[in-house]
Structure 1
Amino acid sequence: MAKQYSRPSHYEQLMKKLQNDFPGSEPITGLMLIYLKHIVHVVETSSDMIVKIVEDLHNMEQEETSCVAKSKILIISHDIHTRLYQQWSSRTLDIVEHGIEAFDTNETFENLIVDLLTQLLKLAVFLMKQPKLNLKNAMDALHEKVPDLLPQQSVVHYLLEENDSSMSTPSEFLTLYQRPFDTSLESDMVWPIPTRLFPYN
């Protein structure tokens, strides 16, 4: 998720660049929903590509003239056996929703995130069931055909503005991803090396 309007052409160019920079890698598929002030982006690709996309998000947040002011990562799943999208595409949704900033709820962040991800999953299943010849028309009429499957802008705004450990920023994700795995245990610092009298089960 990202706050503020971002041109889909930037991401179209980024996706093409990544495919050219990593020939033979997994294709990038997914969906970008562009609202008036927010973006919801679902991406299906390899871990290396995900890191590059998150790096791009992080860089845009640092630029004063960038269209992206703030972004959060809801979830990253691995070992997905089946893709939900046939290609990467974006759609601008001309939906005006009043009272976005005034949204409040008693729901936990975990429940809000699960509900939002469930909406996106159902939306992907809906699009997957569309005949290829009818896919463009279905994409152009999402708000009329399946409004209940589109994330509410007020919920997206709420999740972006609140700080919760259920979500991570691009900076936090990159720090975690780049952190080295080799850590020293206290037992490794003892000399002589302790003898283990019992084998591990």
Structure 2
Amino acid sequence: MAATQKVESLSSKSREYRDSDEEESNTVTMFDVLHGGTKEKIVLQRLIVAAPLPHDLGDGTEIGARYEKFKFQLSKKYVCENMTGLLLIYPSCLLHVIESSREVLLSVLEDCSSLDAPKVVSMTHNLQSRLFQQWSYKVLNADHGPGNARDLLEEEESTETLVCTVLSALHKLADQLETSKKALPGPVLDENPELIVPQKVLQKLLAQEDLHTPERHLQMYCSPLHISMDFGQVIRSRVLTSV
């Protein structure tokens, strides 16, 4: 009997220590907040969408303000699921990068119906880190961007290469943001126009037929799983776009 009580006492203390360690590991200190050490409470995903814009749009600030309002609405609906990213508004098209949870990204995909012929450039799951620490938008004019955009357009014909060009430019921008210690990418892009994804690359991407529309992507994303009992494999009915 005494031995049983001793085992139960040790087990109880072990649970207390384990609970204490778990509570400590989940605690976010002020140091973490100030130095960017906060832990993600969500499964982080990244969505990149491109879409053409009408010629009579004006200076583009209206669409930027519209998405700023939409982001605010999402932040109220999904309180603990911070949305970061970048919206680049060109004279003829836009490029939108969104980093957040699955639910937020699905809401953004559903909202894309308000755009004219949008395309999903990339959808990446289970990210380890964010490219951007805040969400912001920047309106670009025809003079923004690298000077060799025509050469880029001639060299990069395949969809895969064009998508890689977009992703490479975004990662270089994120690296420059970290190096310069600036919170928003706008000033960094002003100082380093070569980091801007060329508008002609996006125009070329929007002409590719193998890129999915948000509606098509949602259909694939929400499609049921087919389970093969013979091979013990779980196969999604359609392949998701993920670069």
What TM-score, normalized by structure 1, do the two folds share?
A: 0.74
Question: In structure 2, which of residues 201, 226, 230 is the aligned counterpart of residue 155 of structure 1?
Answer: 201
Distance 1:43 1:23 in 2: 16
* Structure 1 residue 139 corresponds to structure 2 residue 194: no
In structure 2, what is the equivalent of residue 15 of structure 1?
A: 71
* Structure 1 residue 91 corresponds to structure 2 residue 135: no
In structure 1, what is the equivalent of residue 158 of structure 2?
A: 108
Question: In structure 1, which of residues 21, 43, 46 is the aligned counterpart of residue 98 of structure 2?
Answer: 43
CA contact (8 A) 1:85 1:128 kept: no
Question: In structure 2, which of residues 64, 86, 109 is the aligned counterpart of residue 54 of structure 1?
Answer: 109
- Which one has the bigger strand percentage? 2
Per-residue deviation at 1:180? 2.1
CA contact (8 A) 2:89 2:137 kept: yes
Partner amino acid for 1:87?
A: Q
| CA separation of 1:106 and 1:126: change in aligned 2, threshold 3 A | closer
* Structure 1 residue 79 corresponds to structure 2 residue 129: no
Partner amino acid for 2:158?
A: T
Distance 2:116 2:92 in 1: 10
How many pairs align?
171
Per-residue deviation at 1:73? 1.1
Structure whose CA Rg is larger: 2
In structure 2, what is the equivalent of residue 27 of structure 1?
A: 82
Per-residue deviation at 1:178? 2.0
3-state SS in 1 of match to 2:136: strand
CA contact (8 A) 2:156 2:162 kept: no
Distance 1:44 1:106 in 2: 26
Divergent runs of 4+, >6 A:
none
Task: Name the Cα RMSD after superposition.
Answer: 2.8
Distance 1:105 1:155 in 2: 10
- For CA contacts below 8 A with separation 6 or more, give which structure has more relative contact order: 1
CA contact (8 A) 1:91 1:140 kept: no
Question: In structure 2, which of residues 167, 171, 181 is the aligned counterpart of residue 121 of structure 1?
Answer: 171
Give % identity: 29
Partner amino acid for 1:140?
A: P
* Structure 2: gaps spanning 5 or more residues: 1-49, 233-243
CA displacement, residues 110-148 of structure 1 (integer Å, 9 cap, x when unaligned)? 11211121011111221233334xx45x623614x2222
* Structure 1: gaps spanning 5 or more residues: 61-67, 188-195
Partner amino acid for 1:19?
A: S
CA displacement, residues 9-49 of structure 1 (integer Å, 9 cap, x when unaligned)? 1111111111111222x200011111111111111101111
CA contact (8 A) 2:85 2:135 kept: yes
